[in-house]
Structure 1
Amino acid sequence: MARKSLIHREKKRQKLEQKYHLIRGSSKKEINKVTLLSDKWKIHGKLQSPPRNSAPIRLHRRCFSTGKPRAYYRDFGLSGHILREMVHACLLPGATRSSW
């Protein structure tokens, strides 16, 4: 199980990303439209004004049940260990068992 503080930090980043999503998107579109370099620098400064944790690149996917960041399967939203346990318990339809 991941530490609670790391899970809450990740949730905070998700909220910040949703809050500043439109601001970042509009600034990036403006940079593509403008041709003068000085104008691009001004818009780039505006793009850097939101908090760093609001950047989507800082988000990290975590397991739904344990909160572990590693061995994450996007299709299921689970880490490899929990995924294997659920497949062996026949809780995931369509997934086949393997012994590794």
Structure 2
Amino acid sequence: MAKRCMINREIKRAKLVEKYAAKRAELKKQMLDMSLPAEQREAAATKFHALPRNSSPVRMRNRCELTGRPHGYYRKFGLSRNKLREHAMKGDIPGLVMASW
């Protein structure tokens, strides 16, 4: 089980990403628009860099839904490899069959 503070940090980051998504997109659009004057693009860049670092979606980390484990994460299931294996053995995941030969 991951530390509770790490899981809470990821939740906080997700909220910040959602809150600033529109503002970040607008400022990025202004920064890359070459039809605008250089001063206006520079002002947009300054505002963009003033946004919180954790509002960037790149800083988010995928974590297991059950344990919060950051490594060995399967996007398709939202679980880490350990919990995916446990649930597959129990038959809790429809359509998933463990390989045997």
* TM norm. shorter chain > 0.5: yes
Match of 2:30 in 1: 30
RMSD: 1.3
Q: After alignment, is 26-35 or 1-10 more displaced?
A: 26-35
Aligned to 1:43: 44
Q: Name the residue aligned to 1:90.
A: 91
Asked if the contact 2:64–2:73 (Cα under 8 Å) also holds between the matched residues in 1, the reply is: yes
- 1:8-87 aligned at under 5 Å gives the runs 8-35=8-35, 36-87=37-88
The TM-score normalised by the length of structure 1 is 0.91
Post-superposition shift, 1:37? 3.5
Residues 6-65 of structure 1: per-residue CA shift (max 9 Å, x gap): 000110011111111110011111122234443322211111111111111100010000
Shift of 1:98: 3.1
Q: Give the whole-Å Cα distance in 1 for the aligned partners of 2:59 and 2:78.
A: 18
* Structure 1 residue identity aligned to 2:34: V
Measure, in 2, the Cα distance between the counterparts of 1:87 and 1:48: 45
Separation (CA, whole Å) in 2 of partners of 1:46 and 1:34: 17
Equivalences, count: 99
State the one-letter code of the partner of 1:86: H
Where does structure 1 lack aligned partners over 5 or more consecutive residues? Answer: none
